Amino acid sequence: MADNFNFELVSPERLLLSEMVTEVVIPATEGEMTVMAHHAPTMTTIKPGIVSVRSGSGKKQDYVVFGGFADILPTGCTLLAESAVPVEELNKDELTRRIEAAKKELEDAVHHEHKSKLEHFILELTHLRGIVEQD
């Protein structure tokens, strides 16, 4: 049986979750990452995606995050999200609005690096919208 560790999911608006869990899958910018108790200390940035949390009872909860970073220690993990909501509360129109806003910003972008980041962000949001619409 897997050991429990403390996980907190925090957005600027609210503390979404603070509890003992067995596993958290986070959408790190370098790829999906599974965090369990006794994980090596790590800090990573988060891209838009789904955070899956499994409690000690086996219950799974999913949250949509729109970037941020995670601080992982052997005893716990804190994910500070730019914005986050439980999947069931996600307004799909909000995803479309964010994509359209990023496309508008891309039209006005001047620097190549900024354009590249926006294009990547639009791809991530479009991919996320596809995942959410499947559920």
- pLDDT score, position 122: 84
- pLDDT score, position 98: 85
- pLDDT score, position 1: 58
What total of structural domains would you count in the chain? 2
Name residues whose C-beta falls within 8 Å of residue 106's C-beta, 6 or more positions apart in sequence.
115, 118, 119, 122
Name residues whose C-beta falls within 8 Å of residue 85's C-beta, 6 or more positions apart in sequence.
11, 16, 63, 64
- pLDDT score, position 26: 97
- 95 with 71, same domain: the answer is no
- 61 with 9, same domain: the answer is yes
Mean pLDDT (10-residue bins), the chain, 135 residues: 89 93 95 94 94 91 93 96 89 83 87 86 82 70
- 17 with 82, same domain: the answer is yes
Whether this model's pTM surpasses 0.85: no
- The Cα–Cα gap between 44 and 61 comes to 21
- 106 with 72, same domain: the answer is no
Q: Which range marks the domain in which residue 14 is found?
A: 3-86
Q: What angle is formed at CA 95 by the lines to CA 53 and CA 98, rounded to 5 degrees?
A: 120
Q: What is the DSSP letter of 74?
A: T
Picking from 48, 67, 86, the residue at the C-terminal end of a domain is 86
